[in-house]
Structure 1
Amino acid sequence: MNNIRKLLKYVTVFKNDHFLITFLYLLFATILFFSMYSNIRPEKLNLKLYAEAEKTIVSPALIQDVEMTEEKKNDAIQQVSDVYSMKKGYAQNQIDIIDAIFKAISDVETKIIDQGMAEIDETNSEEGLPSREELLAKVSFDEKIKKLDEALPSEVLLHEELSKEAVISLLSSSPEQRVLARDNAVTAVNNIMSQRIETQEVDSARERVNQELRYINVSNDLKQAIIELCRFAIVPNVVFDKEATNAKRQAAAESIEPDYILQGQIIVREGELIDEAVYRQLNLAGFLDNKDTSQPFLGLVLLILLFVSAVYFYFRDGKKEELKYTTIYILICSITIILMKIISLFQQINFSEIGYVVPVAMGAILIKLLINERLAMLASIILAISGSIIFNGGISSAFNFSIGIYFLISCIASIIFLGKHNQRAKILQTGLFVGIINFIVLSALVMLKNGHIVSFESTPYFIMSLLSGIVAAVLAIGLLPFFEAGFGILSTMRLIELSNPNHPLLRKILTETPGTYHHSVMVANLSEAACEAIGANGLLARVGSYYHDIGKTKRPQFFIENQMNRENPHDKISAQLSKTIITSHATDGAELLRLHKMPKEIVDIAEQHHGTTLLKYFYHKATQNSEKEVLEAEFRYAGPKAQTKEIAIIGIADSVEAAVRSMNNPSPHKIEGIINSIIKDRLQDGQLDECDITMKELDSIAKSFFETMQGIFHSRIEYPEVTKQKVKEA
């Protein structure tokens, strides 16, 4: 007994919608994972230095080659020559040294003279004062040179740079001669050092001193001394500029663009030798790392989780029939992805671009027709991303962006072109349109890669792109009936087909109950306009109205619109029997529709459009003719009450049309009054309690009914009767 209870418990769990939906999502995630698993799985290669490559290997991503970049930068730096700058301040420095020498000579002479004069004052000599030359002559040249060295700056070692004769000549010259010599020396040094003088050019620059001083008007000894002094002053003024050199080298290094191994770039071809450079690039690309990594799998799991979550959160707010539409969505996406995977296997036999033949638009078309446009867009994104992984070739990258863009545009094009026109002919036109778009997209992708559009190799792919759209449309048309029949889907295209007057059931209504047919058409006009006014499915309301009274075909003469001025059979039978006949048309209609495999929505309209309303006429007739108490419940329709807005609107429209048609002279005021009365009666009777219709929507429905009825029962001009006169033959 306990085992039976456990078994029943498990059966109950499996019948639970939440369990089935969870199972569907897990199944969808599993299909996605195993479809893309092999394309992101790291490939293990046996790569050895100086061995031949077993296969052609391309870079899986854009990788910066830091080592090669640094090598190129070093080469660029080595090619930069040292920068030497001319120091203009050097000329002034040397001129200042010349000035300092002449000033020191003057200072030494002045001190010697002052010292000599002081000695004369101490002795109180009455002899005549000695001349300048006499005072200077008392001091030996060696003493003068010594004093001169002391007077000069420590860095100027005059006795080491100039000969003793040159120093003596400078000391022996008169102040006037020295001034002339100083001016010419400064001019010569300035002229020579105003030009670039590199170290190897110093000797030639010093030779120019003779040329600069050839016209100096001084004694030969002093001239030679000045020449020697100027040669001493001439020094190199072009020196190594460390900062400029470093800046130039930095600029050269920065001018080198980083070296990259491009995504899809062939690192080594099959059979080629793996040298050190190739081996290093293989290492950078990660091909030498034989450790198993879980990162690609984790990334794939996260991506699939994102896909499944997007679908789940959309259907979670789907209210009704979540299981059915989730199943359809997952089934269509799975079929398309499995088809992609099967076709991708041909990549291994010299069909590298076989992905362009995949009729991926089929999935978008089916979801657009069977569910809605928003979910078709979501499916387009999922299929495009999945396809870009499946057709990545397994070597160049995790994604094949070209095929991904191609799939996405193909799906979106099919959704946009299909629009609201869902006839089978329109689907074929959509397929042709998608084929043209595919051709254009493929051409754009080829040109973006700087390829040749017209070539023997690419021609088959362009043909495949054209066929892809047409095949997608054909497959969509072929699979559509299976989904409609298997899941009871009432698509827009199916509704349009059911509205065809040549449908057997509509012809049955027209031929057997012409009054009911006319009434149904009027109800269809009222219902469609009212549904569109509140955002409900107007097409469903129209088609459902055509079939809502099909049960009357079983006993057509018992319904007043079909009696054609005949005797009313209800006058001869009891109210209870009349009630049974009238109310049975709802159940009879539903049974007849089920017998002909009509969609559930149409069956529900036939069964629920009267809800549990009261047959007031026959109820009052029964109460008048019976002495016993007559229960009101016995004269109500079996129901159930309207479950959707469309059914509620059709039920109200049915009563409004019948009521207005029975009026002798319907005026706008009377029509408006009867509409409001019927809606009020339905509300008070609780017939609208089980559908999510609002009071605001009922106001819009009443307004729509009134406008439609006014168009039908508009005022007409009364034409005068023309008296027919007999015309006698001549």
Structure 2
Amino acid sequence: MAKFSISRQRAVVRKYAVGVKFLLILLCVLLIILALPKQTKFRYEFEKGRIWNQKELIAPYNFAILKTSAELEKDQEAALQNISPVYQLNEDVQRQQVEGFVNDFNLKWASAGLPDKVKSRYLEMGRTLLNHVYATGLITLGIKNQPATDNYNVTAVNKNVASAKNTSGLFTKEKAVTYFEQELTLHNVDKAFMLDLLQNRLQNNLIYDDKLTSRLKRDALDNISTTQGMVQKDEVIITKGSVINDEVYQKLVSYKKYFEDSARANGNRWQVFFGQFLLVSLTITLLIIFLRLFRKDIYQNNRLVGLILLVITAMLATLSGAIMLQIPNLYYIPYCIVPIIIRILFDTRLALNIHLLVILIAGFYVPNSFEFAFYEITAGMVSIYSIKNLLRRGQFLTSALIITLNYFAAFVGISFIREGDISSIEWLEFFPFVVSVMLTLLAYPLIYAFEKAFRITSDLTLIELTNTNAALLREMAFKAPGTFQHSLQVANLAENAIYSIGGNALLVRAGALYHDIGKMENPLYFIENQTAGFNPHDKLSYEESAQIIIRHVRKGVEMAGRANLPDDIINFIRTHHGNTRVDYFYQSFLKNFPEKFIDENIFRYPGPIPFSKETGVLMLADSVEAASRSIKEPDAKSISDLVDRIVNYKLNQNQLKDSDITLKDLETIKTIFKRMLMSIYHVRIDY
């Protein structure tokens, strides 16, 4: 009944797991579609200077020809040149300053030491000079957004009546002082007395009106026509085989703009939505099929499927946001971040597959789709290849440099094809690619976040775990030095073997280093830690000794859990003995107590058996290394016989049936074990 209940529970879990998986897929498709811009796609791709290989293109309706960016800039410059800076005339300034001059003059005349008979002449001359300056206009030059010269046209506004003036005919404070000096010298008056009074009464009566000037400029720019000429319905835009020259290119650009604007205004959004649904569903379905055929371990894990769908959705949502925000260049987006994350968390094939699907979808919403696809597919491939074997963090910077070089080579090549002249290349257009590569480095913290959120073990984490200065390994080296040395030897054997048959060598090494941490609880009960011939098992029964030995697996799992080691590492601890017997104590019990009945499970590890190449190789390496220590006089034959016997025993005990290791793989593993053990024990090989 218990077994039946458990099997039913597992069936229910599998049933609902499938439902959850397809719910995740549907949610991903809908989120991507909701994020993508709801716009129709112009069916033709074209570039200036290329040959038109499509059929003859005839205008289906009338549309205006858009001006080029250069033409619009020229028109804008011409329009702005016709707008003079606006100054408001303040008539009160003249009256106030002249009255102030008269008051100052009367106050200071008595102390000037001049005869009273010239007082009226001096006063009248000062008033005349000030009135002349203010009647002409007193202005300040060099205000923002104005020509950097002393001679330009301005518009003076007096009571809403505008008049055109030139700054050469107006006074500045400097010009006014010079004028005063000349006139005072000419009329033979006390220049020092009068000049001091006059220059203190200089205040601009023409005030720059920035608000009105800016409004006039905006109005002028708004009134510029963005089109020039028309293409009539049924007019031939371009014939097949013709070169796309400047004139035709502008007609095609105009046709595309009119088509997309018209479709956006009059098109059926539901049909666009349905089209996007078909395309996105197709790409996601292809991804799921890939997982089902080639990565069943990921396909069966909804947590990992959810992570992959999240990364895809986030990337396409970022692209959609950039399109809606109308950023200057869509190449600022770090598209290579997706393949890097997937490569580090999973593998190369999956990373390339997902990157291709993302770029295929994105290609519908970016200009020059083929160029975009070439840039990003090659960059994605380079990013994946450059971190195929991630052994140190500095490889991220190396990868970023290689991606940049790839972008540069593609940029130069495409520019030569398009322009045919190096002098015509706009080198600043490469800047977005540099920014994109810099943003790609955000993959590093994102990988850490995904590892923690989805409980995934990346190569970066494995690199940290294989550092022998890690806390658990330092503790084992102190408490159980013999076990620590054993683990190092097992790591070397397993790593070389898995590298030869194909597998994750870094994962095997990490698993090997931690597989026996449970021995730290009672290190002296394990032979590699015993010294001076003392063996605590001599005081225990065979059953008790077996249980202490077996318990190191459970204790290792508990220690690993407390240390927050990844599940992938804990699996090595669980499976490195499978469900084999502790044969030494079992056989000793049978030999000494043949008449007694004994439950064999007391002497058997709880399992499970290894379920991957990596865990299977570790089991073999662990058993071979431990057994090799018992060889009294190691030579080539004894080592070879030992390795063959251990591997055959594991096969006969069905310990490797779930590990996906072939007979050919086993022969390779045995050869490597024999060669390495001979090297360890300094055995000379007869040639």
- Bin of the TM-score, shorter chain as denominator length: 0.5 to 0.7
Give the 3 Å change call, closer, same or farther, for CA 422–483 of structure 1 in structure 2. farther
Counterpart of 2:332 in structure 1 is: 357
Q: Relative to structure 1, is the Cα distance of residues 68 and 601 closer, same or farther in structure 2, using a 3 angstrom cutoff?
A: closer
Write the distance in 2 (CA, Å) between the matches of 1:355 and 1:255. Answer: 31
Match of 1:653 among 615, 621, 626: 621
Moved more, 583-592 or 400-409: 400-409
Q: 1:147 corresponds to which residue?
A: none
Aligned ranges 1:175-574 → 2 under 5 Å:
265=251, 290=266, 292=268, 299-317=275-293, 318-322=295-299, 323-347=302-326, 351-352=327-328, 354-392=329-367, 400-450=369-419, 461-473=429-441, 475-574=442-541
Structure 1: segments with no counterpart, 5+ residues: 1-7, 73-253, 269-277, 393-398, 718-730
Quickly say closer, same or farther: Cα 1:401–1:267, change in 2 above 3 A.
Answer: closer
Q: Aligned-pair distance for 1:569?
A: 0.9
TM-score (norm 2): 0.64
Deviation at 1:293, TM superposition (A): 8.2
Change (3 A) 1:575 1:643: same
Check whether the contact 1:57–1:267 (CA below 8 A) recurs between aligned residues. no
Provide the C-alpha distance between the structure 1 equivalents of 2:497 and 2:440, rounded to a whole number of angstroms: 37
List per-residue Cα deviations over 1:617-645 (Å, max 9, x = no partner).
Answer: 22233345556322322111122222223
Report the secondary structure of 1:390's partner residue: coil
Q: CA deviation at 1:550?
A: 0.6
Distance 1:559 1:366, change over 3 A: same
Contact residue 39 and residue 263 of structure 2 kept, 8 A: no
1 CA distance for matches of 2:228 and 2:278? Answer: 26
SS at match of 2:394: helix
Q: What's the offset of the Cα at 1:534? A: 2.5
Cα displacement string for residues 323-363 of structure 1 (whole angstroms, at most 9, x for unaligned residues): 3432222221111111222222232xxx44x2121011111
What is the root-mean-square deviation in Å for CA atoms of aligned residues? 4.2
Contact 1:69 1:256 in 2 (8 A): no
Deviation at 1:584, TM superposition (A): 0.6
Distance in 1 between the 2:296 and 2:241 partners?
Answer: 63
SS at match of 2:39: helix
Q: CA deviation at 1:31?
A: 3.0
Letter in 2 for 1:404: A
* Alpha-carbon distance between aligned partners in 2 of 1:567 and 1:557, rounded to the nearest angstrom: 9
Where does residue 40 of structure 1 map in the other structure? 40
CA drift at 1:581: 1.1
User: Does the 8 Å CA contact 1:435/1:468 hold for their aligned counterparts?
Assistant: no
- Higher Cα Rg, which structure: 1
Kindly tell me: are residues 330 and 652 of structure 1, through their superposed partners in 2, closer, same or farther at Cα, counting changes over 3 Å?
same
- The offset of 1:708, in angstroms, is 1.8
Provide Cα deviations, 1:262-306, integer angstroms capped at 9, x if missing partner: 5663676xxxxxxxxx9xx97999779956487755553443233
Residue 598 of structure 1: aligned partner: 565
The percentage of aligned residue pairs carrying the same residue is 29
Paired residue for 1:177? Answer: none
Corresponding residue number in structure 2 for 1:700: 668
Give the Cα–Cα distance (whole angstroms) in 2 for the partners of residues 255 and 622 of structure 1.
Answer: 92
Q: What per-residue deviation string (whole Å, max 9, x for no partner) do you get for residues 379-436 of structure 1?
A: 22223233333334xxxxxx64433333323322212322323532211221233234
8 Å Cα contact 1:69-1:259 kept in structure 2: no
Q: C-alpha separation between the residues in 1 aligned to 2:228 and 2:335? A: 28
Normalising by structure 1, report the TM-score.
0.61
| Corresponding letter in the other structure for 1:592 | M
Quick check: 1:282–1:288 contact (8 Å CA) kept in 2?
no
Equivalent residue of 1:703, what SS? helix
For structure 2, the 5+ residue unaligned runs are 1-7, 43-60, 68-221
SS of equivalent residue, structure 2 residue 467: coil
User: 2:260, 2:523 → 1: CA distance?
Assistant: 86
Report whether the alignment pairs 1:710 with 2:685: no
Q: Does 1:25 align with 2:4?
A: no
Taking a change above 3 Å as real, the CA distance of residues 666 and 267 of structure 1, as seen in their structure-2 partners, is closer
- Describe the superposition over 1:52-111 as per-residue Cα deviations: whole angstroms up to 9, x where unpaired: 99996899xxx99854489x9xxxxxxxxxxxxxxxxxxxxxxxxxxxxxxxxxxxxxxx
Query: How many residues were matched structurally?
Result: 499
**1:631 maps onto 2:599 in alignment:** yes
Q: What is the Cα deviation at residue 601 of structure 1?
A: 1.7
Q: Deviations over 1:183-215 (max 9, x none)?
A: xxxxxxxxxxxxxxxxxxxxxxxxxxxxxxxxx
